[in-house]
Amino acid sequence: MGENGAERVVVITGASSGIGAALANLLASSGHLVALVARRRDALEAVAAGCGGRAHVIVADVSRRDDVTRAVDETIARFGRIDVWVNNAGVGITRMPSQLTDEDVDTMMRANVMSALYGMQETLPHFRSRGRGHVINVSSMLGRIPFATFRSAYCGAKHFLNALTATFRAELAETDPGIVVSLVSPGVVRTDFGLNAVHGGPDSHQLPGSQSAEEVAGVIADVIAEPRPDVYTRPDGRERVVGYYASLGANPE
């Protein structure tokens, strides 16, 4: 990872739209190199076209370990290194917890947890060889506050991701202190997340209190420039979490 302002090579999963696409455009315009990873080639190429020749497209399904390994290898072959890996890919669900099926839970875990685990594990040998690196896992406020009942297994998957991030960070602090692990928690973002959720769902563009994908991308870019372990994209994020658990008579800290 270079000094502030230095060119970085950043891999972004889920880069074909939403937060991932906005982050790619922002980083490329700031002089960084980006590897764009997602399943839809046409959408990835459209994002890359706006990155001024600083993007490389990798068509892959990050819920498959072999595809993630290939994305790591292809990025290194193209750019010579990886400085930052952003686990941004994810999928929502619209189903009450009493109605969840095995397939619903498996889908949420593959898309939101295993994809990130593969990213963390498959970049680790490269980061260790360099003695430095940065993983950023994009979670959700629902990974802190499970208030959207109809998101059920998505809330559970993001809680799992948060715990996995924290334990991975603790392990590396002992073995590889040059490798940083960050967690970023957005709230509602004006993307197609809701429309693309398993079983459909409300349009995130229409929900109150939302942020733009560009706002969230700006927070992630700031975490890349100045790494921190745990960041909310809303300024009141921490207070909302503390307030939620206080209302239950619990202390989240």
pLDDT in tens, 227-243: 999 999 998 999 999 99
Give the mean pLDDT of the chain.
Answer: 94
Answer with the residue of higher pLDDT: 192 or 13: 13
User: How many angstroms separate the Cα of 149 from the Cα of each of 64, 130, 155, 158, 230?
Assistant: 28, 43, 8, 14, 24
Q: With a cut of 50, say whether residue 176 has pLDDT above it.
A: yes
Question: What pLDDT digit, counting tens, does each position of 5-54 carry?
Answer: 589 999 999 999 999 999 999 999 999 999 999 999 999 999 999 999 99
Q: How far, in Å, CA of 240 to CA of 47, rounded?
A: 34
Using 50, 70 and 90 to split pLDDT, how confident is the model at 208?
Answer: low
**Which residue in the block uniquely carries the two structure tokens 């009450």?**
96
Residue 68 lies in a domain: yes
Residue 149 lies in a domain: yes
Question: What pLDDT digit, counting tens, does each position of 58-76 carry?
Answer: 999 999 999 999 999 999 9
Question: What pLDDT digit, counting tens, does each position of 74-102 carry?
Answer: 999 999 999 999 999 999 999 999 999 99
Q: How far, in Å, CA of 114 to CA of 119, rounded?
A: 8
Catalytic residue among 118, 154, 244, 245: 154
- Strands of 33-38's sheet in order across: 55-59, 33-38, 9-13, 84-87, 133-138, 179-185, 230-232
Residue 82 lies in a domain: yes
Q: How far, in Å, CA of 180 to CA of 54, rounded?
A: 24
Rounded percentage of the chain residues whose pLDDT exceeds 90: 83
- What CATH number should be reported for the domain holding residue 38? 3.40.50.720
Residue 4 lies in a domain: no
Using 50, 70 and 90 to split pLDDT, how confident is the model at 2?
Answer: very low
Residue 17 lies in a domain: yes
Instruction: State the pLDDT at residue 1.
Output: 36
Which tokens is 203 given?
Answer: 């349009």
Structural domain that includes position 117: 9-247
Q: How far, in Å, CA of 35 to CA of 12, rounded?
A: 6
Residue 252 lies in a domain: no
Instruction: State the pLDDT at residue 136.
Output: 98
Using 50, 70 and 90 to split pLDDT, how confident is the model at 123?
Answer: very high
pTM > 0.75: yes
Instruction: State the pLDDT at residue 252.
Output: 55
Residue 2 lies in a domain: no
The count of domains in the chain is 1
Q: 244 catalytic, yes or no?
A: no
Instruction: State the pLDDT at residue 86.
Output: 98
